Structure 1
Amino acid sequence: MRVRKLTFLTLAVAAGLSLTACQNDDDAAGQPAPSSASSASSTSGGSGSGGSDQDGGKGSTGAASGGKDTAAGSGSDSSGKAPKCTTDGLEITAKDNFIDGDPEGTVAVGLTNGSGADCVISGFAGVDLKTDAGDISATRKGDPGDPYILKNGKEIDFYVSYPLNESGGSGVRITGLVVTPPNETKSVALAWPGKGTLPVTDGSGSPVTVGPIGSAGQGG
């Protein structure tokens, strides 16, 4: 009789252990795998990587926008091209560039970009010499070449050539220089830095010529 009770007790304990093991298996099946939990954490980011998925998306958009801005360049318009240089954005100066022995007098006109952004400049500037006999417009001479991207703070030059007064007479007195940047209508009046007079001509053509932008070298 005692043997039968021990047998029933042993069977009951074994059944209980089997039931507990099954419940543990069921509980384990209801929990996410450690690898799944790690992947979810990586996807959502967390505070160290921008917070929520939505914030992470904004960060991605910002990075793409930054790339576009970089490609467009400083001072570029929405199309990615630098705007043209304007009179108001340029500092214009003139200096005597005559070298002894040259057949003509030369003045170098410098255009410095002070607009705060890069700009494009090309072609010819308008140049007029003020004289006591009236204004003389310079004639264009040379190939205008390709457009230049003038970096902010940088200078580009062009030349103005004029005949030397070697006639022995008083000639035509030069009183000033007027420069109009390419594709602009606003002019800047400057003091004339070259020789003081021009020879008297018969008026059959302008004795003054202007080279294209960049013809007198590009400054740093």
Structure 2
Amino acid sequence: MLARNLTFAALAVAAGLSLTACNGDNGAARSGGSSPSSESSAASSTGGSGSGGSEQGGGKDTAGKSSGGQGTGGQGTDSKTGSGTGAKAGKCRTDDMDITASDSTISGDTEGSVAVTFKNGGGRDCALSGYAGIDLKTNYGNLSAKRSGQGSSPMVLKNGESVSFGISYPLNNTGGSGVKVTGLVVTPPDETKSFSLAWPGGASLPVTDGSGSPVKVFPMGSAGQGGAS
């Protein structure tokens, strides 16, 4: 009887241990099954608000403040400059210009003057600045005009509009034949292609001692403003 009771007791203990083990495994399985998913959820939630949410949102806020709020990051300034001065307009090409020249000498002046006009006929606005290249064709070869040294500002020449500049030269009052002028060659600023036309000024220049060109060219926009007189 004692042996039988011991057997039952042993069986009861074994059953209890087995039941505890099973309950522990099930608890671990439930814990393990819910833990990864909750960690994954937590990670997903943290990653979404940290990298996808707050970081991206913060990046947009920063970018917005940099370009919109401050307005000094470069893009705002460049775009304002571009729309204001012709950063969007290409340079004026010789082939797009209708180039003419006329005598603008005023009676009583000690020097002669010629006004050269550029009319933009290229179908688009274009940018001009500085000095055009000027050469006078003479019976002694080409004579290049020297720059007057006056400052000039960049400009946008709208399609169909015109701008003029001046050329000054010494009048031949010596009574001699002097240096005969046979033509005018004009090269727009920043261009390499030239345009030839008739010289509308005095028929000749006085002979000089060769110390430098007596012909001067003035910057864009100078004609009619006293630049060539």
TM-score range, shorter chain: 0.5 to 0.7
State the secondary structure of the residue aligned to 2:200: coil
Q: Please list the CA deviations of residues 64-97 of structure 1 after superposition, one character each: whole Å capped at 9, or x if unmatched.
A: xxxxxxx977xx7xxx621111111111000000
Structure with the bigger percentage of helix: 2
Q: What residue number does 1:216 align with?
A: 223
Deviation at 1:143, TM superposition (A): 2.2
The separation in 2 between residues aligned to 1:162 and 1:81, in whole angstroms, is 37
Q: What residue number does 1:174 align with?
A: 181
Q: Please list the CA deviations of residues 11-55 of structure 1 after superposition, one character each: whole Å capped at 9, or x if unmatched.
A: xxxxxxxxxxxxxxxxxxxxxxxxxxxxxxxxxxxxxxxxxxxxx
The separation in 2 between residues aligned to 1:81 and 1:152, in whole angstroms, is 14
Identify the match of residue 139 of structure 1 among 143, 146, 149: 146
Task: Give the fraction of aligned pairs with identical amino acids, expressed as a percent.
Answer: 61
Answer whether contact 1:156 1:217 (CA < 8 A) is retained. Answer: no
Identify the match of residue 122 of structure 2 among 115, 138, 151: 115
2:174 partner amino acid: S
1:202 aligns with 2:194: no
1:137 partner amino acid: S
Answer whether contact 1:122 1:144 (CA < 8 A) is retained. Answer: no
Rg larger in structure? 2
Matches within 5 A, 1:179-190: 179-190=186-197
Deviation at 1:191, TM superposition (A): 0.2
The separation in 2 between residues aligned to 1:146 and 1:81, in whole angstroms, is 17
The separation in 2 between residues aligned to 1:217 and 1:119, in whole angstroms, is 22
Deviation at 1:107, TM superposition (A): 0.3
State TM-score, norm by structure 2. Answer: 0.60
Q: What residue number does 2:198 align with?
A: 191
For these two proteins, the number of residue pairs brought into alignment is 143
Q: Which runs of 5 or more residues in structure 2 are unaligned?
A: 1-80
State the Cα RMSD in Å: 1.7
State TM-score, norm by structure 1. Answer: 0.62
State the secondary structure of the residue aligned to 2:181: strand
The separation in 2 between residues aligned to 1:100 and 1:217, in whole angstroms, is 15
Matches within 5 A, 1:57-136: 81-136=88-143
The separation in 1 between residues aligned to 2:224 and 2:188, in whole angstroms, is 17
Answer whether contact 1:144 1:213 (CA < 8 A) is retained. Answer: no
The separation in 2 between residues aligned to 1:143 and 1:175, in whole angstroms, is 28
Deviation at 1:145, TM superposition (A): 1.6
The separation in 2 between residues aligned to 1:123 and 1:178, in whole angstroms, is 17
Runs of at least 4 residues off by over 6 Å: none
The separation in 1 between residues aligned to 2:224 and 2:119, in whole angstroms, is 13
Q: Which runs of 5 or more residues in structure 1 are unaligned?
A: 1-70
Matches within 5 A, 1:41-52: none
1:136 partner amino acid: L
State the secondary structure of the residue aligned to 2:127: strand
The separation in 2 between residues aligned to 1:108 and 1:144, in whole angstroms, is 18
Q: Please list the CA deviations of residues 73-132 of structure 1 after superposition, one character each: whole Å capped at 9, or x if unmatched.
A: 7xx7xxx62111111111100000011101100000000000101111010000000000
1:177 partner amino acid: L
Q: What residue number does 1:60 align with?
A: none
